[in-house]
């Protein structure tokens, strides 16, 4: 489900745009793109899979003079194969139109990006100049064949030390993405830099430099956890949300919740709520 419910009105803030681009990855994109700009790294930005523009709007925020954002999405066009059509029907058809994307994007930027309304496979024709992009976001089909193609497009499009972010590399419902991503690592020279719950970040270039850039920020102070793993000899950072401490419950309440069947605990909660509303008992933390 998208993070916010689909809306037809013009979004007032970026969070109003429905989509799957969550705050941790927004922070990681912002940090990596700003660091590139601060270091004088120039290049275009490419997004495969934009939906209603939630991530594209942020990518557009980071364009410097002379740089171009290209987005590629089917929007309201037909998919090229049955499986992709099924994916579109299941997740996007009811809410997605190109005009809705455009309206959302123009709520935050004066000009639209370059829009390719087609399957991402068309980008294999070289219309994105080789070595022209500093950042590529791959977030389109979840099918292995498509993602493997998208990874190749990203590789060809990226500058030597450019970065790729690959969405849904570990979700239970997207094994094809996992297969394509780790295949690129083990047989295609892609080096992991950062893993978040939603996205894999990597480069075919200087992995140590990308890592240094990430470590310049005090993520922990901002409420994230930072961990480190070594995968086939490459050190990889992991960022996640810090989980809030569980709500403390009194021993008797804990025991009641553990022992009573769910229907009974629901009824107990309802009764307590009613009593509380009548100010008969003090509030207790909700489950």
Ligand X SMILES: C[S@@+](CC[C@H](N)C(=O)[O-])C[C@H]1O[C@@H](n2cnc3c(N)ncnc32)[C@H](O)[C@@H]1O
Question: Which residues make up the interface to ligand X (CB under 6 A)?
Answer: 19-21, 49-51, 54-55, 72-74, 79, 84, 88, 92, 96, 119-120, 139-141, 146
Q: In the complex with ligand X, which residue's Cβ is closer, 84 or 196?
A: 84
242, two tokens: 């810090």
204, two tokens: 């075919």
Q: In the complex with ligand X, which residue's Cβ is closer, 83 or 273?
A: 83
Q: How far is CA 251 from the centre of its chain?
A: 40
Separation of alpha carbons 66 and 287, rounded Å: 53
Q: In the complex with ligand X, which residue's Cβ is closer, 20 or 144?
A: 20
Q: In the complex with ligand X, which residue's Cβ is closer, 75 or 207?
A: 75
Radius of gyration of the chain (CA): 22
Supply the minimum distance, in Å, between the C-beta of residue 257 and ligand X.
37
Supply the minimum distance, in Å, between the C-beta of residue 280 and ligand X.
46
Supply the minimum distance, in Å, between the C-beta of residue 91 and ligand X.
7
64 Cβ partners below 8 Å, 6+ apart?
37, 42
Calculate helix-pair angle for 23-38, 207-215, nearest 10 degrees. Answer: 110
Supply the minimum distance, in Å, between the C-beta of residue 4 and ligand X.
10
Supply the minimum distance, in Å, between the C-beta of residue 228 and ligand X.
27
Q: In the complex with ligand X, which residue's Cβ is closer, 26 or 269?
A: 26
Q: In the complex with ligand X, which residue's Cβ is closer, 74 or 158?
A: 74
How far is residue 98 from each of residues 71, 104, 115, 175, measured CA to CA in Å?
A: 11, 10, 9, 28
Separation of alpha carbons 174 and 279, rounded Å: 49
3-state helix, strand, coil in the chain (%, to 5): 40, 20, 40
Supply the minimum distance, in Å, between the C-beta of residue 120 and ligand X.
4
27, two tokens: 């922070």
Cβ atoms within 10 Å, residue 249: 14
Q: In the complex with ligand X, which residue's Cβ is closer, 18 or 192?
A: 18
In the bound state, the residue with its beta carbon closest to ligand X is 19
Supply the minimum distance, in Å, between the C-beta of residue 184 and ligand X.
18
């Amino acid at each position: 489900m998208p993070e916010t419910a689909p809306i037809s009105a013009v979004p007032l803030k970026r969070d109003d745009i429905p989509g799957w681009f969550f705050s941790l990855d927004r922070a990681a994109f912002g940090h990596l793109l700003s660091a590139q700009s601060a270091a004088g790294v120039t290049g275009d930005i490419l997004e495969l899979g934009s939906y209603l523009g939630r991530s594209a709007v942020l990518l557009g925020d980071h364009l410097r003079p002379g740089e171009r954002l290209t987005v590629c999405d089917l929007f309201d066009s037909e998919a090229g194969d049955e499986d992709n059509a099924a994916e579109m029907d299941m997740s996007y058809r009811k809410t997605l139109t190109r005009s809705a994307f455009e309206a959302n994007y123009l709520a935050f930027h004066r000009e639209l990006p370059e829009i390719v309304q087609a399957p991402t496979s068309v980008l294999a024709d070289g219309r994105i100049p080789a070595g022209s992009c500093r950042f590529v976001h791959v977030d389109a089909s979840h099918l292995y064949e498509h993602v493997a193609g998208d990874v190749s497009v990203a590789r060809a499009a990226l500058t030597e030390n450019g970065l790729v972010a690959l969405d849904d590399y570990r979700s239970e419902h997207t094994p094809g993405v996992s297969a394509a991503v780790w295949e690129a690592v083990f047989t295609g020279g892609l080096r992991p830099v950062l893993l978040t719950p939603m996205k894999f970040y990597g480069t075919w270039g200087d992995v140590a430099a990308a890592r240094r850039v990430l470590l310049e920020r005090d993520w922990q102070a901002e409420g994230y956890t930072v961990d480190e793993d070594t995968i086939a000899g490459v050190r990889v950072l992991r960022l996640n949300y810090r989980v809030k401490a569980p709500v403390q419950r009194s021993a008797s309440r804990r025991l009641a919740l553990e022992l009573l069947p769910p229907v009974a605990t629901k009824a107990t909660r309802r009764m307590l709520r009613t009593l509380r509303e009548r100010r008969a008992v003090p509030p207790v933390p909700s489950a």
